[in-house]
Amino acid sequence: MANLSNPVMSSSALVEPRPLRVGLLGFGTVGEGTYRMLLDNAESVAAKAGIPLVVQRVGVRDTQKPRSAPSGLFTSDLQSVVDDPEVDIVVEVIGGIDPAVALVERALANKKPVVTANKEMIAKVGHRLVNQAHKNGLDLHFEAAVGGGIPVIQALKHQLAGNDVPRMLGILNGTSNYILTKMSETGAPFDEVLAEAQGLGYAEADPTNDVDGFDTLYKIAILAGIVYGGPADLDQIHREGIRHLDAREFDYARILGYTIRLLGVAEECGPRRVRLRVHPTMVKNDHPLAGVRDVFNALWFHGDFVGDLMFSGRGAGADPTASAVVGDLIDVARNYNLQGSGSAIPYGQSLAMEPMETVESRYYVRLNVLDRPNTLGRIATAFGEHEVGLAEMEMHVVGPDEGEIAFLTHISKEGDFVRSLTAIEELPVVNMVAAWMRVEG
Amino acid sequence: MANLSNPVMSSSALVEPRPLRVGLLGFGTVGEGTYRMLLDNAESVAAKAGIPLVVQRVGVRDTQKPRSAPSGLFTSDLQSVVDDPEVDIVVEVIGGIDPAVALVERALANKKPVVTANKEMIAKVGHRLVNQAHKNGLDLHFEAAVGGGIPVIQALKHQLAGNDVPRMLGILNGTSNYILTKMSETGAPFDEVLAEAQGLGYAEADPTNDVDGFDTLYKIAILAGIVYGGPADLDQIHREGIRHLDAREFDYARILGYTIRLLGVAEECGPRRVRLRVHPTMVKNDHPLAGVRDVFNALWFHGDFVGDLMFSGRGAGADPTASAVVGDLIDVARNYNLQGSGSAIPYGQSLAMEPMETVESRYYVRLNVLDRPNTLGRIATAFGEHEVGLAEMEMHVVGPDEGEIAFLTHISKEGDFVRSLTAIEELPVVNMVAAWMRVEG
C-alpha cells in the first residue's frame, strides 16, 4: 500500500516534493532528445509522474564536445553516474554491449531502476538483467528498444497479456522500410537508393545492422521474449536482409498486387515453442502492413481473444525514441512514489526454436528458363511432385530463346518448396532459380 | 519495495500461492467473455500475472437464466459480491449508471481494486471514482471502456504520457463505422443499412447510443480526461450522429477522393483548455483513418515528440473486450502481489471547453441552386465576403432549371463558414444548403 506519510507522495502543495533525479548514460541522438523532452515538457511530465524529473548527471565519452546542456552536468566517468547517491534512476542510451551491460548491472546492484533504449543488450542479455531487476524489486523498462515511440512493449506485457498469440508480424526497421519503399516507387536498384538514404541521414555509413536484418532480429527476439515468456537463442533465428533484392522482384510484386517489406515474424508452434524469422516478404496490398511506408514502423498482432490489432508510427529518431524513454521514466517515477515496482516480469527458460523447414507459407519464385515447348509442363510437374500447388503465374520472353516465369504458390511446407526448387534447378529447360521469397496475405 | 516474505510473492514452487479471487458484476456478452478467457487461457494468465486468477462470485439480475458457468457462482444480490471478504478484485461489466456507480463506490470503500468496461460511468463520474481509488491506494482500470481490445488507455496514461497532444482523432464506434462503410460501398440509404446491421447483430434494436454519437462522445471524453488531466463537461461536447446522412454525400465523397467516418475529435486549445466534438467527417482517402473499415475502431494520435501514431483493431464484441478486461486484471494482480498500486492517476479540475465557433477546418458543402447565369458568381462572392476560400468544386444539372454544387473549402473558421452559409441561403439563386460537413486530411 502507498505510504501516505512519505513527502514524495504528498499531493498537498505545502511540501514541494524533491524531484526524481535522472542519471543519463549517453548523450547521442536519443540522450539529447530525452534531455530536451524532460525540459520542454517538464510541466506535463511532472503532472503525469506525480513528481518533477530532472537530469542530475550525464555520462559521455568526450566531455570536450560542445553539447546542448550545461557543461557542469557532464562527466566522462560513466561508472560515477550509476554510483552517484544523488541519482535515483539510470537511463542507458549508449547502445551496444560494452560498457552498457556492466553499467546497467551495476545500477541495478545499486538499487536504482533502469530505463534503456538498447535493443542489442535486451535481445542478448535482457532476461538476465530483467531477472536481476525483479529480484531486487526494481523496474527495468525498455519501451524504446522496439518501434521507437510506438507503445508495443508495455501493451504486450500488460493489456494484451491475457491472449495466446499465434502470430506477430513487424516492420521494425525504418531504414530498410524507407529503402524498400523507394525501390518500389522508383524502380532504382538497392545501391542507388541506399546511397540516397545515407545522404538523407536515414541510413548509416555502415548500414549492415539495418539492411542485413540484425536490427529487426533483435527486435522480434525482444517481442517474442515478452509474449512467450523466455529468451530466444539469437543464433537460431533465420535472418535474410534486403541487399540482394533485384528490381525485377519489385516489378513482379506490382504486377501481382503485392509490396515487398522486411518482416520480423514470430509464430507459436506449441507451448514455449516458437519459430522466429526475419526476411523480405511479399505482402499483399490489402494487408495493413503493405500501407506502412517510408521510415514508419508497425506491429501487426493476432491474439486469440483480441483478434487482429495493428500499431504504427515513427519507429526511430530522436523525438519518438525520447517519447518512449520519457514514458518509461514517468512509469518508474510513479512506482517509485508508491515505493513499489510492478513491471520487471521475470523471464522463464529459453524458448524452444523450430527450424525453417517447418514453415508453412505461400511462396514467390522467379525462374530464368529456356523457351522450349515443354518448359512450363516440366516445371509445373516438378512443383506438383513435391506437393507445391501453383496459384498464379506470369511468363515473359526476355531474349532469343530465353524466358522468365514468376509463380505464386498456394500454402506449402518450406521443406517441400525448397526441395522442389532443387529439382527444378536441375531441369535442362531451367537456367536458374533467380529469386524466391515468402508471401503474406 | 516488494515484500519477499509474502507467500503471494514467492516464485518458488514450494508454496502454491492462493489465487486472486474475482467478483464479477454482470454476465452479459463481456462478462461471459471475461469468464471464458480466464478459464481458457488460465495458464498464460497466471504466468503473466504471477498468480492464478479465479472467478469467485458472479452477480446477475436473473439467477434462473441458463448460463455457461456453474450455477453455484451466481447470486442476484449484487452488493453481496462487493462485500464478500472472499472477493479480492471486482470486475464491473453491467454498464450504465445505476446500480453500477454505487457498486463500484462500495467496492472501493471496501478496499477492493476495480476493473470496469463501463464507458458511460467513466465518462460521467470517472474523475470521482478514480480520485476515490487513488485516495484509498487502489487500482481502478478501464481499458475496455474505449476501443475494446485496442490498448489505447494505458498507452495514453503511461508510454505516451510525456507528450503534449495537440490532436487526437478516433473512430470509436464500430456500429456506426460498419453502417458508413456499407453506405459508401453499396449506395444504400441509412435506414436500409441500419436494418441489415441490426439483422447481423452489429446494431441494437434501439441504435440511438451508437448512431447518434453518444457512445463516441463518452469515449472521446474519457480519452481527453486522461490526456489533458481533468474531466470534460459532457454537455459542452458538440455531437452530431450519422442518421441524417444522405447517399449524395457518399457520391461526392467518392468523386472528391474522400471517405465519410464518424469521428471523435479532441484538440488542445491552451493549458487545460480543449475542444471536443463528435460528427461525421469527410476523411481524405490517404489518411490512415480512411482505411479503417467495417466494425473496426482506431485512434490516430499526434504527440509533440512521438509524432503521428495509429492504433487499430476490433473495438467491440465479447472476446476483444474480454482481452482488455483480463489485461487490466493481470495488471491489478501484479500490483496486488507487490502490495502497491500504481495506476489510479488522480484527475485535476474540470477542463475548460472551447465552443465550436472557434474550430478551424476545411468544409464540404452541397447546395441546391437555380440554374442562372450568375449563380456561381454570387455564391462564390458570398463565401469570399466571409473569408472562406474555395478549393474544389463539382457542379451538376439535376433537373430543368435546377443544379447542385458541392464545394470543398480551404481551412476556414467555423464561425465564418456558418455565417457564409446563412448569407448564401438567403441568395435568390439558392434553393437550400442541402448538407455540410467538416473535412480531415
Query: Which domains can be identified in chain A, with CATH numbers?
Result: 7-148+319-337 (3.40.50.720), 154-314 (3.30.360.10), 359-440 (3.30.70.260)
Average pLDDT over residues B394-418: 96
The lowest-confidence range among A146-160, B220-234, B323-337 is B323-337
A336 sits in which H/E element: helix A318-337
| Chain A residues in contact with B11 (beta carbon < 8 A) | 346
**Residue B336 near residue B88, CB atoms below 8 Å:** yes
Instruction: Give the closest-approach CA distance of B83 to chain A in angstroms.
Output: 20
pLDDT at A1: 33
CA separation for the pair A380, A300 (Å, rounded): 34
> Which of B295, B306, B349 to mutate against chain A (most A CBs within 10 Å)?
B306
Q: Map B297-362 to HEC letters.
A: EEEEEEECCCEEEEEEEECCCHHHHHHHHHHHHHHHHHHHHCCCCCCCCCCCCCCEECCHHHCEEE
Distance CA B329, CA B113 (A): 9
ipTM of the complex: 0.91
Q: What is the pLDDT of residue A67?
A: 94
- Per-residue pLDDT tens for A375-416? 999 999 999 999 999 999 999 999 999 999 999 999 999 999
pLDDT tens, chain A, 441 aa long: 333 333 333 344 445 578 999 999 999 999 999 999 999 999 989 999 989 999 999 999 999 999 999 999 999 999 999 999 999 999 999 999 999 999 999 999 999 999 999 999 999 999 999 999 989 889 999 999 999 999 999 999 999 999 999 999 999 999 999 999 999 999 999 999 999 999 998 899 999 999 999 999 999 999 999 999 999 999 999 999 999 999 999 999 999 999 999 999 999 999 889 999 999 999 999 999 999 999 999 999 999 999 999 999 998 899 999 999 999 999 999 877 665 555 567 888 999 999 999 999 999 999 999 999 999 999 999 999 999 999 999 999 999 999 999 999 999 999 999 999 999 999 999 999 999 999 999
Minimal-distance CA residue of chain B relative to A320: B306
Q: What is the pLDDT of residues B275-296, one digit of tens each?
A: 999 999 999 999 999 999 999 9
Amino acid at B124: K
Cα–Cα dist B381/B72, whole Å: 74
Instruction: Judge whether A119 counts as a catalytic residue.
Output: no
What is the grid cell recorded at A117?
533504449
One-letter amino acid of B396? H
Can you give the pLDDT at residue B339?
57
- pLDDT reading at B266 higher than 70: yes
Query: Which pLDDT belongs to residue A140?
Result: 95
Interface probe with A: pick from B305, B310, B311, B336, most Cβ of A within 10 Å: B305
CB contact under 8 A, B149 and A341: no
In this complex, the residue of A162, A338, A346 whose CB is nearest that of residue B341 is A338
Contact B1 A341 (CB under 8 A): yes
Mutate to test the interface with B, among A138, A306, A341 (most CBs of B within 10 A): A306
Q: Is the pLDDT of residue B342 over 60?
A: no
Across the interface, whether the CB atoms of B143 and A159 are under 8 A apart is answered yes
DSSP string, B357-394: GG-EEEEEEEEEEE--TTHHHHHHHHHHHTT--EEEEE
Contact B149 A50 (CB under 8 A): no
CB contacts of A347 in chain B (<8 Å) are none
- State which residue of chain A sits closest to B333, comparing Cα positions: A342
Among chain B residues, the shortest Cα distance to A308 is held by B313
Contacts of B346 in chain A (CB under 8 A): 11
* Phi, psi angles (nearest 5°) of residue B296: -70, 150
Facing A1 at nearest CB: one of B45, B161, B340: B340
State how far the alpha carbon of A89 is from the alpha carbons of A108, B51, B334, in Å. 10, 28, 22
A340 contacts A205 by C-beta, under 8 angstroms: no
CB within 8 Å: B348 and A288:
no
The rounded mean pLDDT for chain B is 93
Contact B252, B182 (CB under 8 A): no
pLDDT value at B338 more than 80: no
Residue to test with chain A: of B163, B293, B304, B351, most A Cβ within 10 A: B163
**Active-site entry in A112, A135, A219, A284:** A219
CB B315 within 8 A of CB B147: yes
Give the tens place of pLDDT for each residue, B124-182: 999 999 999 989 889 999 999 999 999 999 999 999 999 999 999 999 999 999 999 99
Contacts of B360 (CB under 8 A, 6+ apart): B411, B412, B413, B414
* Helix A190-199, helix A174-186: angle, nearest 10: 120
CB A272 within 8 Å of CB A233: no
Q: What pLDDT score was predicted for residue B325? A: 97
Chain A hits for B149, CB-CB cut-off 8 Å, are 160, 303, 305-307, 309
Q: Which set of grid coordinates corresponds to residue B190? A: 441509412
Contacts with B259 (C-beta within 8 Å, 6 or more apart), sequence order = B184, B253, B282, B283, B284, B285, B290
* Nearest alpha-carbon partner for A428 in A349, A374, A360, A366: A374
Cβ-defined contact of B1 to A291 (cutoff 8 Å): no
Cβ–Cβ below 8 Å for B162 and A329: yes
% of residues, chain B, pLDDT over 70: 94
Cβ-Cβ contacts under 8 Å, A158 against chain B: 151, 154, 327, 330-331
Mean pLDDT of B371-395: 96
d(CA B323, CA B34): 7
Nearest CA to CA, how far is A387 from chain B (Å)?
Answer: 36
Contacts B30 to A, Cβ<8 Å:
none
Alpha carbon of A93: minimum distance to chain B alpha carbons (Å): 17
